[in-house]
Structure 1
Amino acid sequence: MDAVMLIGFMLIILFIVSLVISWKFQYRAEGKDERGKQILNTAYTAAFPVFPIGWLLITLYDDFVAAVPFPIYKKLMWILVLLGFIVHGAVIYFLKKRW
Structure 2
Amino acid sequence: MAWIVLVVPGFLEAGWALCLKASDGFRRLWPSVGFLVLAALSSGGLAYALRTLPVGTAYAVWTGIGASVTAVVGMALLGEGTSALKLVSLVLIVAGIIGLHVAENAA
TM-score bracket relative to the smaller structure: 0.3 to 0.5
Structure with max Cα Rg: 1
Structure with the larger RCO, 1 or 2 (CA within 8 Å, 6+ apart):
1
Q: What is the TM-score when the length of structure 1 is the normalising length?
A: 0.33
Q: What is the TM-score when the length of structure 2 is the normalising length?
A: 0.31
